């Protein structure tokens, strides 16, 4: 599942390898861009995509049963209901792309406080040179589990589980 997906730049790239991708976006422009992106994908990939318009907090149920949850929230960080759901029952892998370090710090404190998730990696990207703006990619795994990476290339059936 990808929440706060915008035009789907991350999730669309996962369609070729995933068995199902659920997209969530609130903004009309993002949803229009996502629809265009989906229309350009092969029909087999489109069949594995579902779109859930509205707030990420209202669609926090999309994390249930997902092997990977990708979040790319606005500067304010994660919606409180989604944050609470992720902290209470983290997915096997959570990938968080943050555009604001302060909200990322706050959200990570909440995600890690219960001990149910473990920080596995963090990397900063300077997509906007000569500005103070840095994107930060963080990945966490459910505690007690090691997330199984998909092989590259994917298995013979062409998709990761």
Which listed residue (5, 99, 150, 160) is catalytic?
99
pLDDT along the chain (161 residues), means of 10: 97 93 98 98 97 98 96 97 98 96 97 96 93 94 79 51 48
pLDDT (0 to 100) of residue 144: 87
- Nearest alpha carbon to residue 3 among 27, 25, 21, 18: 25
Q: Please tell me the pTM assigned to this model.
A: 0.90
CA 147 to chain centre: 15
Burial of 7 (0-12, 13-18, 19+ CB in 10 A): buried
The answer to whether 69 touches 63, Cβ cutoff 8 Å, is yes
pLDDT (0 to 100) of residue 22: 98
Longest dimension (CA), the chain: 44
5 is catalytic: no
The answer to whether 71 touches 91, Cβ cutoff 8 Å, is no
pLDDT (0 to 100) of residue 151: 54
Q: Which letter does DSSP use for residue 155 in this model?
A: P
Burial 24-44 (b: 16+ CB within 10 A, else e): bbbeeebbebbeebbeebeee
pLDDT (0 to 100) of residue 146: 76
């Amino acid at each position: 599942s990808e929440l706060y997906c915008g035009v789907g730049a991350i999730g669309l790239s996962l369609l070729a390898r995933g068995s199902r991708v659920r997209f969530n976006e609130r903004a009309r422009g993002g949803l229009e861009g996502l629809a265009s992106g989906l229309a350009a994908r092969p029909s087999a990939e489109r069949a594995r995509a579902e779109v859930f318009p509205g707030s990420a907090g209202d669609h926090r149920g999309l994390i249930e049963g997902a092997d990977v949850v990708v979040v790319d929230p606005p500067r304010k960080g994660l919606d409180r209901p989604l944050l609470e759901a992720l902290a209470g029952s983290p997915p096997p892998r959570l990938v968080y792309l943050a555009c604001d370090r302060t909200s990322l710090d706050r959200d990570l404190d909440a995600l890690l406080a219960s001990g149910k998730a473990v920080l596995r990696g963090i990397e900063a990207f300077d997509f906007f040179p000569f500005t103070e703006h840095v994107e930060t990619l963080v990945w966490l795994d459910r505690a007690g589990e090691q997330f199984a990476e998909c092989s590259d290339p994917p298995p013979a059936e062409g998709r990761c589980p």
